[in-house]
Amino acid sequence: MFSERLKQLRLARGLTLQALSAQLGGIVTKQALSKYESGKIMPSPVVMSRIAQVLGVKAAHLLSEPKISVRFVAYRKLSGLIKRDRTRLESLISHELEQRTQLLEKVDKLQPIDIPVEQMGIRNLNDTETVAEKIRSRWCLGSDPIGNLMGSIEDQLIHIMEIPADNKFDGLSAVATDEDDRTVAAAIVTRAGLCGERQRLNIAHELGHLILKIPKSVNEEKAAFRFGSALLAPASSIFQNVGTSRDFLHIEELLLLKKRFGISIQAILYRLRDLKIISDQYYRQWCITINRSGWRRREPGEMESEKPQWLLQTVLHALSEGFITHDQAEKYLGSTLLADAPLPSMDRRAFLKLPLEQRRKAIVDQASRLVNYYSKASDIRDLPPGEIFEYEGSKS
């Protein structure tokens, strides 16, 4: 187990054997580390403790067996990456999902979740429209555009992770099961740094991979894309805004549709063609215009990307309730916590006299305000160093 843990954590941290050896101060050569990872030898307790410290875990973690098993959905999507990058991504995602399930255990919220993983069957591409409608109904989303896609998905206890990755990687889905083969977590992984319109469709696309049961007769990528488009831009809403048949579309109208539905102009045009609102010929004419204008990679009216909130909010909640320590909170977030967040002060004695439910509500309210403060940053790892809000001289 130590050999597997060591390799997973090293790769998750993006370290080569040589780089890890250097961070260990040269007390272990890369040859020795290679033997550790192959299971040929074991380090001394002192060396193991130092390795754990460098990798940011406790030594006991290196010897423990994972409580979950992670499976990647639509695995062939990783085939475009070289083996080293593919292995690094797998290790990073597996470690992150394990960390999140441990956090859920600490707050006593780890339990089987109701996610139809690869259960929504389709026979053809048109069936994805019906599945998208069912998901919207199941999640009480109505037929209006989804303002905060990440929030809607995180509300269903599906984790969203943003990771730095090669341009060949856009996204991936993963499922974690416990020892009894029950689904305890699911994740949608997207590449960091994408503009909002591309990010949203990527996430909806990965949701399609996660829940659709696609027969071999149907192109998997096209089915996931069609589902994602139907989820973000329902046919009924498109017909209401555009009509059922069009021979001409002005660029300003396309920009308004882009802003309304939160997907790119290219995705909107593709959607209009799927719904037979515009002809194949008119769609191709627009593709030529987009190519000539240089919009394939970057369109006008670029949208801000959305930010996942579940991890930050859950960590702050767990910290406030005393389930985790300040140091543990920073390790979960991969960032230090700020001291100047705008939280109201409260007399400690008066707070402790409140009924338990009121104390919990006050803590959650404070955590929510801190979440809003942090969400203004472009990424949690971009935040400057600092300390958590100090309450009566004690870290809370």
Q: Is the pTM of this model over 0.85?
A: no
Closest CA to 184 of 112, 107, 259: 112
Hey, what domains does the chain have and what are their CATH numbers? 1-65 (1.10.260.40), 120-293 (no CATH), 310-395 (no CATH)
Q: Is 205 helix (H, G, I), strand (E, B) or coil?
A: helix
- Ordered alpha helix ranges (H), 107-213: 127-138, 149-154, 196-211
How far apart are the C-alpha atoms of 274 and 228, rounded to whole Å? Answer: 13
Length of the chain measured in residues: 396
Determine the pLDDT at residue 249: 96
* Structure token digits, residue 223: 């089915």
Question: In a 3-state reduction of DSSP, which class is residue 183?
Answer: strand
Residues 6+ apart with CB under 8 A from 137: none
Cβ-contact 131, 122 below 8 angstroms: yes
CA terminus-to-terminus distance, the chain: 36
Closest CA to 232 of 256, 266, 267: 267
Distances (CA, A) of 293 to 181, 288, 296: 51, 9, 8
Q: Check: CB of residue 24 under 8 Å from CB of residue 10.
A: no
The pLDDT assigned to 78 comes to 61
Continuous segment of H or E residues that includes residue 176: strand 171-177
- DSSP tag of 174: E
| Amino acid letter, 183 | T
CA distance 292 to 234: 29
The number of beta carbons lying within 10 Å of the beta carbon of residue 103 is 21
Tokens of residue 58, six digits: 């406790």
26-30-31 Cα angle (round to 5): 125
Q: Which two tokens stand for residue 101?
A: 């399930």
The pLDDT assigned to 371 comes to 63
pLDDT along the chain (396 residues), means of 10: 87 88 89 88 89 87 86 70 80 89 82 85 96 95 92 93 82 88 90 92 95 94 96 96 96 96 96 97 96 91 93 88 85 71 54 74 70 52 38 36
Cβ count within 10 A of residue 314: 22
Q: Are 392 and 348 in contact (CB under 8 A)?
A: yes
H helix or E strand, kind and range, residue 139: none
Cβ proximity of 15 and 33 under 8 Å: no
Question: How far apart are alpha carbons 272 and 267 in whole angstroms?
Answer: 9
Name the residue among 158, 151, 163, 161 with its Cα closest to residue 176: 158
User: d(Cα 28, Cα 15) in Å, to the nearest integer?
Assistant: 15
Q: Taking the C-alpha atoms of 362, 363, 364 and 370 in order, what is their torsion angle to the nearest 10 degrees?
A: 110
What is the structure's pLDDT at 160? 94
In sequence order, the β-bridge partners of residue 171 are: 190
